[in-house]
Amino acid sequence: MKADAIKLDGAAAGSVDLDDAIFGLEPRADILHRVVRWQRARAQQGTHSTLGRSEVSYSTKKIYKQKGTGGARHGSKKAPIFRHGGIYKGPTPRSHEHDLTKKFRKLGLRHALSAKLAAGELVVIENADLAEAKTSVLAKQVGALGWKRALVIDGASVNENFARAASNIANLDVLPSMGANVYDILRSDTLVLTKAAVEALEARLK
């Protein structure tokens, strides 16, 4: 299929061919959900931790005699039933990561790109180059194009001036083609691909 391309100033810049096997799929929510879960699990730090009975700092002396008190038998203040005692089966540092095959991850990326095109939220631009790293210039262009929360994906590398100018604009993210991922694509309101990005993604996902 063909898609119109524009320049950053809004002028027409011809058209680009989009591969139906990558941009023309029927988006499936279950596939996107699995890939996003995989991404977020990998990003989770897993540093949550509590102290168990053997780790809390407390006296090891028996708190009172075994018999004759009329109360229950206890031997340690470290027991979980006491205040400041250890936590029973509390969380410990661990990895939340789980496996997902490369083939499935590629499939998820294809579905994410197809979902953006189907929703009319995919824009193709000629390039993402700026002569100067001027945030004011880029912000004016982005405002004129009506991009609210946009993700710009470039080719193998990102133009240094463009990346520097975009870093000062809220809700405008820039990634090279190898950094394209399902989570960032889906959470953006507008997905902006350069012509170089289209070529790189098609080569990566075929």
Contact 196, 156 (CB under 8 A): yes
pTM of the model: 0.84
pLDDT of residue 60: 83
Q: Where are the domains of the chain?
A: 2-45+97-205, 50-90
Contact 127, 14 (CB under 8 A): no
Given CATH 3.40.1370.10, say whether it is the number of domain 2-45+97-205.
yes
H helices of the chain, in order, are 20-23, 29-43, 102-118, 135-145, 160-166, 182-187, 195-205
DSSP 41-76: HHH---------TTTS----S-SS-SSSSSS-----
Contact 127, 161 (CB under 8 A): no
pLDDT of residue 62: 92
Q: Which residues of 102-132 are buried (b: 16+ CB within 10 A; e: fewer)?
A: eeebebbbbbbbbbbbeeeebbbbbbbebee
**Tens-level pLDDT at each residue, the chain (206 residues):** 889 999 998 899 899 999 999 999 999 999 999 999 999 999 999 999 999 999 999 888 899 999 999 999 999 999 999 999 999 999 999 999 999 999 999 999 999 999 999 999 999 999 999 999 999 999 999 999 999 999 999 999 999 999 999 999 999 999 999 999 999 999 999 999 999 999 999 999 98
pLDDT of residue 1: 85
Contact 136, 101 (CB under 8 A): no
